[in-house]
C-alpha cells in the first residue's frame, strides 16, 4: 500500500472484487471456485458476499479503500467520473479482501485485506478520472507518485433499510 493508501490490484478476468474473506473459505481449487462463485456470481452480489468492480478489461488498477469515517478526498471528488449505486457487503468474519475475481477464495493472494467488524456495509465504487488531474500526470504523460487512484471503494456501516444493486450488470430500465 502506498503512502496515500492506494494499492495496485490486477485481474486477468476483467473484474476486481471486494469480498468477505470467510464467506468463500470453501473454495480450494478451480472447480470449487466455479461452483461457489462463478456459476452464482449475481446471487453472491445480491447476497452481499462480494462487491464487483467490473472493469471489463484485464490489467492493473490503482484502488483506494475508504472505510468510514474516511471519504473521498477533495481531489478525488473533483475528478470523480462515476459512482455506483450502493452494493451490500456482509462481513461474517473479521476482514474483507480486494483481489481480481480469479483470486476470490484465496485471502493470501488478495492485494489488500481490510479489517472490518462483522456486520452489514454499504459499498460504493467511484471511478476517478485521474488523468485529468494535473498533480497525477507527469510531464512525460506517466502517473506521478502522487497520482489519484483509478477507483475509490467507499465502505460505510449500513444504516437502516437500503436498496442495493443486485448484479454486476447495469439495469436497462
139: in domain: yes
Euclidean distance between CA atoms 61 and 120, whole angstroms: 26
DSSP string, 87-99: EEEEE-SSEEEEE
Give the chain's residues under pLDDT 50.
171-173
Q: Is residue 64 part of a domain?
A: yes
Give the domain extent around 51.
6-157
d(CA 150, CA 91) in angstroms, rounded, equals 25
Q: Is the pTM of this model over 0.75?
A: yes
Q: How far apart are CA 61 and CA 15, in angstroms?
A: 11
- For 97-121, the three-class secondary structure string (H helix, E strand, C coil) is EEEEHHHCCCHHHCCEEEECCCEEE
Confidence (pLDDT) at 172: 37
Give the integer Cα–Cα distance in Å for 10 and 72.
Answer: 22
Phi/psi for 112 (5° steps) reads -145, 145
The pLDDT of residue 95 is: 93
CA distances from 76 to 13, 64, 111, 132 (A): 26, 10, 21, 11
- Here the CATH number for the domain that contains residue 117 is 2.60.34.30
59 is a domain residue: yes
Contact between 70 and 105 under an 8 Å Cβ cutoff? The reply is: no
| Backbone φ, ψ for residue 88 (5° rounding) | -95, 135
In a domain, 169, yes or no: no
Domains contained in the chain, number? 1
What is the pLDDT, as a whole number, of residue 34?
94
Query: Hey, which residues does 123 pair with through a beta bridge?
Result: 87, 155
Separation between Cα atoms, residue 61 and residue 8, nearest integer Å: 5
- On whether residue 142 sits in a domain, the answer given is yes
Q: Is residue 137 part of a domain?
A: yes
1 within a domain of the structure (yes/no)? no
What does the pLDDT read at residue 173?
35
Q: For residue 91, is it within any domain?
A: yes
pLDDT value, residue 53: 94
Amino acid at each position: 500500500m502506498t503512502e496515500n493508501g492506494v494499492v495496485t490490484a490486477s485481474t486477468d478476468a476483467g473484474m476486481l472484487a471486494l469480498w468477505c474473506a470467510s464467506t468463500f473459505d470453501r473454495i480450494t481449487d478451480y472447480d470449487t471456485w466455479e461452483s461457489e462463485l462463478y456459476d452464482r456470481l449475481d446471487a453472491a452480489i445480491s447476497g452481499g458476499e462480494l462487491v464487483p468492480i467490473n472493469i471489463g478489461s484485464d490489467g492493473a488498477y490503482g484502488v483506494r479503500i475508504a472505510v468510514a469515517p474516511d471519504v473521498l478526498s477533495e481531489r478525488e471528488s473533483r475528478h470523480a467520473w462515476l459512482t455506483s449505486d450502493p452494493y451490500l457487503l456482509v462481513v461474517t468474519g473479521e476482514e474483507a479482501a480486494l483481489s481480481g475475481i480469479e483470486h476470490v477464495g484465496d485471502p493470501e493472494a488478495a492485494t489488500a485485506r481490510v479489517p472490518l467488524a462483522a456486520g452489514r456495509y454499504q459499498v460504493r465504487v467511484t471511478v476517478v478520472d485521474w488523468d485529468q488531474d494535473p498533480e497525477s500526470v507527469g510531464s512525460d504523460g506517466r502517473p506521478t507518485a502522487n497520482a489519484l487512484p483509478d477507483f475509490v471503494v467507499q465502505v460505510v456501516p449500513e444504516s437502516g433499510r437500503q436498496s442495493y444493486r443486485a448484479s454486476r450488470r447495469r439495469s436497462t430500465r
